[in-house]
Amino acid sequence: MERVAVRSGLLCVAAAMGLSACVSTGVTTIADGVGAVGTFVAGAPDGVAQPVQMFVASTRKGERGAASEASSDGPVAHSLVTISVPPVHQAGSIERPNLGSQNTNYHFAVTGRRSLDEDAFNNEIASHISGRIGSSRDVLLYVHGFNTGFDEARFRLAQIVFDARFGGVPVLYTWASKGSVFAYGADRETAMASRDGLEHLMLALAREPDVGRVHILAHSMGAWMAMEALRENAIAGHPDLDGHLGEVMLAAPDIDATVFRQQMARIGAGAHVSILVASNDRALSVSSLLANERPRLGALDPNAPADRALIESLGVQVRDLSGDQVGLIGHSTYANAPDVIAAIGAQLGAARADDRNVQAVLDARGDTPVVAAPLAPPTTPSANGTTPGAPLVGQGLTPASALSPPPASTLPGTRINAGPSATVDAR
């Protein structure tokens, strides 16, 4: 009984500290149609909001943003969505209004949405991959974590795509999180019920004509879902998604270390799995408490001998974000720290040897290659003198065998307040 009381008290403290960092943000202006998907707008003038378009597969009941409708799981719905990124955007932030209506000059906003059936969804993705070369043929599949509302999930992917300057096709898999810090158990059950839809989506993306790699970026509880879906595909005979599985990046994964070892055993050592860890992640500390004090994968400390030995035994790559923490909780550092999101973008966009083969096929067919035009790097440097989005020497994901103590962080925890706005550390 005493342990239960302590856990309840810690949950209350966590909520008071801002662990429920997702803020419900209703969107009232939604266009009926969305144009062709082009992740970036090349040469857009300064001071103009820029669109990020994404495909969305959702198990949420209500896709128009109402929190009460978005809390029930169901069959997968599909849509094509445009998110407007404000001209005042600062890398690592999601600018949203504190009070009053949103303004696209200052805030992320949903500016377009078109519902699609599954066949149309797949056909639309195929049409936008066709003719592309290099990493612009790739898909980035993002899976959010616990306590995440529908708008927060869409805004987070838009921010990641924009700040990482990803030139391929972004896809969001959003499941029916209740968006409450007190609903951890309910979210866990819903996540389990949503695995089949994610498993199906992964394989469907890998089977798109002309697709390059299907990269997966999954956060917190979403990392557990992603690994479970990959495990099920491996059992079904598709361990590498039929040759199309790219980078698998697990940010602050809320996964029991023993469970992760079993998942990796099924997926196989050939998968390029990276884990972004932070021993000072307070959200995972609470998760560990809820799991009877079993350590979470995302909270391992590469500088602790026991954790280091465990990491080395897993055969994965590791990036320690403990020194890069942004904000009090530190659970979304992977997307909040400009240098870290830039490193993720550089890894996703790295050139591959087989790109030359794709070019040869396109030339033989007489196709005109399509190369996504990235935005110019942001002009506001981070506090350590680097430009967010620029390739970083030594900032990539480090093999476990070459781990070294992280340098002292020079990234500030400051937030932007551009006009009547505030940033949201969406989980």
For residue 180, tell me if it sits in a domain: yes
Q: Which domain holds residue 198?
A: 2-28+53-81+115-375+386-402
pLDDT at 287: 62
Check residues 15 and 253 and name the one with the higher pLDDT: 253
For residue 8, tell me if it sits in a domain: yes
For residue 40, tell me if it sits in a domain: no
Q: What is the pLDDT of residues 63-99, one digit of tens each?
A: 544 343 444 456 899 999 999 999 999 999 999 998 8
pLDDT at 270: 84
Mean local confidence (pLDDT), 350-376? 53
Mean local confidence (pLDDT), 333-349? 90
Torsion of CA 101, 107, 111, 113, to 10 degrees: -100
Separation CA 170–CA 267 (nearest Å): 23
Task: Report the chain's mean pLDDT, rounded to a whole number.
Answer: 74
On the 0-12 / 13-18 / 19+ scale of CB atoms within 10 A, 319 is: buried
pLDDT at 248: 97
Q: Which residues of 27-56 are buried (b: 16+ CB within 10 A; e: fewer)?
A: beebeeebeebbbbeeeeeeeebbbbbbbb
pLDDT at 288: 57
Counted domains in the chain? 1
pLDDT at 408: 31
For residue 292, tell me if it sits in a domain: yes
pLDDT at 43: 45
pLDDT at 327: 62
Q: Are the C-beta atoms of 387 and 381 separated by less than 8 Å?
A: yes
CATH number at residue 336: 3.40.50.1820
Give the pLDDT band of residue 289 (cuts 50, 70, 90): low
Give the pLDDT band of residue 332 (cuts 50, 70, 90): confident
Mean local confidence (pLDDT), 249-253? 94
pLDDT at 419: 33
For residue 192, tell me if it sits in a domain: yes
Question: Which among 159-173, 175-189, 337-351, 356-370 has the top mean pLDDT?
Answer: 159-173
What is the per-residue DSSP string for 230-251?
A: HHHHHHTT-TTTTTTEEEEEEE
308: which residues sit within 8 A by CB, 6+ positions away? 301, 302, 400, 403
pLDDT at 120 over 80: yes
For residue 37, tell me if it sits in a domain: no
For residue 199, tell me if it sits in a domain: yes
Separation CA 52–CA 125 (nearest Å): 15
